Amino acid sequence: MLLTKVEEKALAGEYGEALEIAYRVLVAIGKISDANRLIPIKWAHVSGVSYLTIGEYGLDFLKKISSTHGTKFRVFTTVNPCGMDIENWDLLDTPADYADRQLKIISCYEKLGIANSFTCVPFQSYKVPRRGTSVAWAESSAAVYANSILGLRTNRESAVSALASALTGKTVYSDLHIPHNRIPTKNIRIKMEKKVGRALAGSVDYGILGYFAGKNVPGVIGFQGQKLDLRITEAKALCAAIGTTGSSGMFVPNSKEKLETIDFTGKEYEDVFSDLSQSGEGEAIVFGCPQMTIEELYELSRMLGEKHFSKKCLVFCSSKIYDMARTRGYAQVIEGAGATFVRDACADFTPMISALNVDSVETDSCKGAHYMRKVHGVKISLKNTERIIEENTN
């Protein structure tokens, strides 16, 4: 890889240890991807915030980076959700020593300079640059959304590589940053309508499609056979599920490419559904994996009206979206129905789900189903939001 004189100096440690480490990471990644240069980015989105995922390992490293004198993020940087509601961390018995370590991680990031919201849907809260702009986003669901829906260009970064991009303002020019790589490598042909008699609709259906596609296509996915409904709820569910099962960083709707094609029929649908949903109902309800958008909070409040939940219901969203939902009156309706908002946290990687002390959870998210079972050992009942409300309110 060709480095500029300034980049060479940074790599040699002339601008301090944090930048030296960051350039070392970018150079190593450049070598495995045969890249020839680094390019500037407009936005870094860093994962690795919950203490439940990065542990002591990550905290050690972040302390080292953030304590290097004068080190700041060079570009606009957002970070993923953490493991608890920061302003209300004793909610649902978050253990005090967990909270203490979580706050230490957060203060490292704050020292480096981050936007004030902890979110896995950063495109909801901040102005999205124009199509074709290169960014460096970790958090697979957001990276797939950025490439496929927003027209931004990003590889699926890791916690450490996105951090290196935040510190340098640069990323490696490879893979999905290069226009000719942004075309399908395999197609998924949706054949639900003819065989099952209905088209895919709603977040569960789109999640199942994404879960299947991610597992079967490691590169860019081409969809055929049904015009996809890419409103935010469906698109978010599809992108999150693609990110859960594989390494794909992008999909293309209505693929015209003549390629190896895999059929997605009623059988494939049922296989994924029965793998993810092991229970008819759940003892608690979790909404917001990825975190709820303002559109989804509006829909939820509209469906709830005067109804009241008959079991515990957690709603995950960023603090910024929560504040917006309060201003618009949606949050009051949802809280009035007995649900608890958890702000700035991740539904999957929080001790709160284990602290609920339940054996089963109802959710509309395939990504949430995958991780909550793995991380917290709960059984999942996968249903659309409408049905969850219909069955669990009075």
Q: Which residues bind other proteins (CB under 8 A)?
A: 21, 24-25, 27-29, 31-32, 47-48, 53-58, 60-61, 138, 157-161, 164
Phi (first) and psi of residue 55, to 5 degrees: 55, -160
Return d(Cα 285, Cα 279) in angstroms, integer. Answer: 13
**Cβ neighbours of residue 238 closer than 8 Å, sequence gap 6 or more:** 206, 207, 209, 210, 228, 230, 251
The distance of closest approach from Cβ of residue 216 to other proteins in the complex, given in angstroms and rounded to an integer, is 17
Of 228 and 241, the one with the shorter C-beta distance to other proteins is: 241
Nearest C-alpha neighbor of 161 from the set 171, 173, 175, 176: 171
Return d(Cα 188, Cα 213) in angstroms, integer. Answer: 7
Of 60 and 100, the one with the shorter C-beta distance to other proteins is: 60
- For CA atoms 35, 29, 250, 130, give the dihedral sign: negative
Residue pair 316/344 in contact by the 8 Å Cβ criterion: no
The distance of closest approach from Cβ of residue 219 to other proteins in the complex, given in angstroms and rounded to an integer, is 15
Of 78 and 140, the one with the shorter C-beta distance to other proteins is: 140
The distance of closest approach from Cβ of residue 145 to other proteins in the complex, given in angstroms and rounded to an integer, is 18
Rounded to the nearest 10°, the torsion over CA 145, 150, 156, 159 is -90
Of 162 and 284, the one with the shorter C-beta distance to other proteins is: 162
Place of tokens 């601008």: 15
Of 138 and 356, the one with the shorter C-beta distance to other proteins is: 138
The distance of closest approach from Cβ of residue 315 to other proteins in the complex, given in angstroms and rounded to an integer, is 26
**Cβ neighbours of residue 284 closer than 8 Å, sequence gap 6 or more:** 311, 312, 313, 314, 356, 358, 360, 361, 362
The distance of closest approach from Cβ of residue 370 to other proteins in the complex, given in angstroms and rounded to an integer, is 13
The distance of closest approach from Cβ of residue 304 to other proteins in the complex, given in angstroms and rounded to an integer, is 36
The distance of closest approach from Cβ of residue 138 to other proteins in the complex, given in angstroms and rounded to an integer, is 7
The distance of closest approach from Cβ of residue 305 to other proteins in the complex, given in angstroms and rounded to an integer, is 41
Of 67 and 332, the one with the shorter C-beta distance to other proteins is: 67
**Cβ neighbours of residue 170 closer than 8 Å, sequence gap 6 or more:** 7, 26, 38, 39, 40, 41
Of 158 and 216, the one with the shorter C-beta distance to other proteins is: 158
> Alpha helices, DSSP H only, in the chain?
5-11, 17-32, 51-66, 96-112, 122-125, 140-145, 159-168, 192-196, 202-216, 232-245, 266-276, 294-304, 319-327, 330-336, 351-355, 366-376, 385-392
Give the amino acid at 219: G
The distance of closest approach from Cβ of residue 160 to other proteins in the complex, given in angstroms and rounded to an integer, is 4
Of 98 and 298, the one with the shorter C-beta distance to other proteins is: 98
Of 46 and 389, the one with the shorter C-beta distance to other proteins is: 46
Of 10 and 228, the one with the shorter C-beta distance to other proteins is: 10
The distance of closest approach from Cβ of residue 44 to other proteins in the complex, given in angstroms and rounded to an integer, is 14
Rounded to the nearest 10°, the torsion over CA 4, 9, 12, 15 is -130
Nearest C-alpha neighbor of 110 from the set 201, 49, 42: 49
β-pairing, 38-40 vs 170-172, is: antiparallel
